[in-house]
Amino acid sequence: MTGPRYATVALPLPVARAYTYQIPADLLTRAVPGARVVVPVGARRAVGVVLAADVAPPDVHARPALRALDEQPALSPALLALGRWMSDYYGAPIGLALRAMLPGPLWSVARPAGPGEGSERVVRLIHRLPSLLEREAAFRRAPKRRAAYEALEALGGAAPLRHLGQRLGIGAAVIAGLVRQGLAEVSVTARPRDPFAELATPLPPVATPDQEAVIRAILEGPVERPAVIQGVTGSGKTLVYLAVLRRLVEAGRGAIVLVPEIALTPQTVARVRGAFGDQVAVLHSGLSEGERLDAWRALRRNERRVAVGPRSAVFAPVQDLGAVVIDEEHEPSYKQGSAPRYHTRDVARERARIEGARLLLGSATPSLETLFMVDTGRAHAYLLPQRIGSRPLPPVEVVDLRTAERVPEARVIPWSTTLDAAVTAALERGEQVILLLNRRGFATYLQCPQCGTVSECPRCAIALTVHRTPAALRCHYCAYESPVPAACGRCGHATQRMGGLGTQQLEHFLGLRFPAARIARMDLDTTSTKWAHQEILDRFARGAVDLLLGTQMIAKGLDFPNVTVVGVVDADTGLHLPDFRAAERTFQLVAQVAGRAGRGERGGQVVVQTRHPDHHAIRAAAGHSVAEFAAAELPLRRAPHPAYPPAVGLVRFVIALPDATRAARLAERVAAWLRRANAGTLAGALAVLGPAPCPLARLQGRWRWHVVVKAAEARTLGRVVRAWRARGRGAVVVDRDPASLL
């Protein structure tokens, strides 16, 4: 054939259509579907992915592609098909769907950056004083030094010298004092060592009969039916996944293991490494771009066969994929927050279908979506009802905060004598304690006792959180920060009252209550640096910390046998959010953190403090019972109640604009369009709700409205989002299967 040849190319842009380019003869063999090409876009150049080669010539003049970047197409035919599926299912522009699938540097026209990062002087704590007594002894006459120490600790143990000086006003002399005392060191950042590089835990040599039965049943079951491994906390689910994978890997196939957040699950990563050694590529955000690219290439070339990582690892270029495992499948972090807003579970199911791989979903508290798949025969559940070694699940005592006796010294802090006694006894026996409070900061708001004004974020319709060490009012949605005012901005009243307990205040109280205990706090504020999670969990594992407190971060799959007491300080923090999953998330969080207790021989005990002891989420969590929770919750998501997933599918259209009137007007237009579509081709299959202001009515200076549509048939929603994609309106976010309605 002579004459020019053409290909359609997807560009990583929010536009619905693909572009046609001419493919020069010397690029023809490489510019095949799935391969990256450099093409001109206006006056610039961009990297795109070939969708189809040898297409018909376009009506208008097509410019020639400039370079073809791949020897082997970056996206295999299976992954390209997965990208098309994502684009169609979520109504996302194809270019954005494909962009989510490849590491960032592969989209760069310039050479990808190497592993080097800019250097900077960093202060790092090298010796910790986790108990109040130690700290008081060390800083008797040095309050500034103590403040610096505590600020560093609150920042995760390390911070750039510049940040400390400019933002927090901590002088060089104070830092020098810490260094003299042997508590800190100042270094020019060399890249910190990757703590995952050598982590490996050998697997237990023999499976229990329960585990063996599940492993065999999964391997004998049909490949195309997802396997839900529903095992109570501590039942040994990890060994089951790995035994199934081992069969596949021994047969030369590859596998993907997905974890909610890699920094929070070092034990799982270590076990995968223990099972598969250097066949494993760990993909995590702590890697530099260059390192991540190396890991990607090693998988693409089949030099490594098992990928472990967070949600984006569902796209890992594993060759001859035999299985995808999703550990803690109920975790909200499996939903991507920006376009294409995919849910890893659904993408994994589609990828497994395309590639003929098994899908394994594991959790002690499966999502209702997954339980519904089991109920309707689209997945099969394998149960592990017993803990390893027949250890009992820890008894859970529910303390009613409305009536319970409290420790008087705790004042405003909800601290019952029951929880106090349990913690005191565990510490006396030299055992470890985990305390959950799912709210960071010191206090959740600051209010003037005279005029009632609450300090709010100027850009978001939300109260500012009070922080100490370092002190500031902070917005948890947009990171806005201001100094804590000395007086009320409205009426001038001199004292301000704080309300709502946060982890910093709890830590402060615990320090006073248990002065000899070594305490560590884990929340977003203490884990801002790369390896901070790992460092805190390491200290806890080594026994250098007695009491670990934190937000939901501490509830994820940790396995520490010396933890005998778990306390949920306030189980109600998420119970009343205006979101249909509020009860489900509360159940999962409480049941999961309860499951951290009693994993060793000494047994365990859990205390849950709540003002709603009869709520089904609390009761079911106290009984470690998924069945009880599902039996109470599923009917609430069906008629006569307003229907919600899994009973129906949802798509949420979010409109966010700086101008309030325009936002409301655009929302009206979106709703009108949806209603017209419903009256027309969709023949009334849709329920259109709204427009209404979002519960978070203003965020980052934008007014937010949403329109929520529901349909019983997935096909209906697919048609809606694709029709909307074809219209292409930038200011509207389309979120299918939303993780929240806030």
What residue ranges bind Zn ion (CB under 5 A)? 457, 459-460, 475, 477-478, 480
Alpha helices in 107-192 (DSSP H): 132-138, 143-154, 161-168, 172-180
What mask of x and - would describe binding to ligand ADP in positions 318 to 337, judged by CB under 6 A? Answer: --------------------
Q: Measure Cα distances from 209 to 67, 235, 361, 391 in Å.
A: 57, 12, 20, 15
User: Which partner in Zn ion, ligand ADP, none is near 457 (CB below 5 to 8 A by kind)?
Assistant: Zn ion
User: Which partner in Zn ion, ligand ADP, none is near 518 (CB below 5 to 8 A by kind)?
Assistant: none
CB of 204: closest distance to ligand ADP in angstroms?
3
Residue (58 or 392) nearer to ligand ADP, CB: 392
From candidates 115, 182, 204, 252, binder to ligand ADP by CB under 6 A: 204
Question: Binding-site residue total for ligand ADP (CB under 6 A)?
Answer: 16
Q: Is 726:93 a contact under the CB 8 Å cutoff?
A: no
Q: Is 626 in the site for ligand ADP (CB under 6 A)?
A: no
Q: Is 239 in the site for ligand ADP (CB under 6 A)?
A: yes
Residue (299 or 364) nearer to ligand ADP, CB: 364
β-strands 702-711, 432-436 pairing: unpaired
Q: Is 592 in the site for ligand ADP (CB under 6 A)?
A: no
Q: Is 214 in the site for ligand ADP (CB under 6 A)?
A: no
Which one of 53-61, 231-239, 475-483, 508-516 is the stretch in contact with ligand ADP (CB under 6 A)?
Answer: 231-239
Residue (230 or 610) nearer to ligand ADP, CB: 230
DSSP conformational letter for 578: S
- Binding to ligand ADP (CB under 6 A) within 546-585 occurs at 557, 559
Residue (238 or 564) nearer to ligand ADP, CB: 238
Which residues pair with residue 23 across a beta bridge? Answer: 5
Question: Three-state DSSP class for 677?
Answer: helix
Residue (287 or 563) nearer to ligand ADP, CB: 563
From candidates 20, 87, 131, 211, binder to ligand ADP by CB under 6 A: 211
Which one of 75-83, 202-210, 286-294, 680-688 is the stretch in contact with ligand ADP (CB under 6 A)?
Answer: 202-210
332: closest CA among 36, 49, 739? 739
By the 10 Å C-beta count (0-12 exposed, 13-18 middle, 19+ buried), 245 is classed as buried
**What is the rounded distance in angstroms from the CA atom of residue 427 to the CA atom of residue 81?**
55
Which residues pair with residue 692 across a beta bridge? Answer: 706
User: Which partner in Zn ion, ligand ADP, none is near 135 (CB below 5 to 8 A by kind)?
Assistant: none
Structure-derived torsion over alpha carbons of residues 593, 270, 101, 237, reported in degrees to the nearest 10: -50
From candidates 30, 36, 128, 237, binder to ligand ADP by CB under 6 A: 237
What mask of x and - would describe binding to ligand ADP in positions 340 to 379, judged by CB under 6 A? Answer: ----------------------------------------
CB of 250: closest distance to ligand ADP in angstroms?
19
| Locus of tokens 């001038």 | 492
User: Which partner in ligand ADP, Zn ion, none is near 208 (CB below 5 to 8 A by kind)?
Assistant: ligand ADP
Which one of 25-33, 232-240, 256-264, 529-537 is the stretch in contact with ligand ADP (CB under 6 A)?
Answer: 232-240
CB of 695: closest distance to Zn ion in angstroms?
15
Token pair listed for 325: 């495992």
**What is the rounded distance in angstroms from the CA atom of residue 475 to the CA atom of residue 467?**
10
Q: Is 477:462 a contact under the CB 8 Å cutoff?
A: yes
Instruction: Name the residue type at position 300.
Output: R
Q: What DSSP letter does each residue of 42-101 carry, written as one string?
A: TTEEEEEEEEEEEEPPPSS--PBP-EE--SS-SS-HHHHHHHHHHHHHHT--HHHHHHTT
User: Which partner in Zn ion, ligand ADP, none is near 204 (CB below 5 to 8 A by kind)?
Assistant: ligand ADP
- Binding to ligand ADP (CB under 6 A) within 115-174 occurs at none
Residue with nearest beta carbon to ligand ADP: 236
Residue (211 or 432) nearer to ligand ADP, CB: 211
**What is the rounded distance in angstroms from the CA atom of residue 521 to the CA atom of residue 483?**
23
Residue (637 or 698) nearer to Zn ion, CB: 698
CB of 560: closest distance to ligand ADP in angstroms?
9
CA angle, residues 377, 272, 209, in degrees to nearest 5 = 60
Backbone angles phi and psi of 226, in degrees to 5: -55, 140
Q: Measure Cα distances from 318 to 139, 180, 297, 306, 315 in Å.
A: 53, 50, 10, 7, 8
From candidates 388, 404, 425, 632, binder to ligand ADP by CB under 6 A: 388
Q: Which helix (H) or strand (E) holds 446?
A: strand 443-447
From candidates 95, 234, 366, 574, binder to ligand ADP by CB under 6 A: 234
Q: Is 332:742 a contact under the CB 8 Å cutoff?
A: no
Which one of 160-168, 201-209, 453-461, 567-575 is the stretch in contact with ligand ADP (CB under 6 A)?
Answer: 201-209
Site for ligand ADP, rule CB under 6 A = 204, 206-208, 211, 231, 233-239, 388, 557, 559
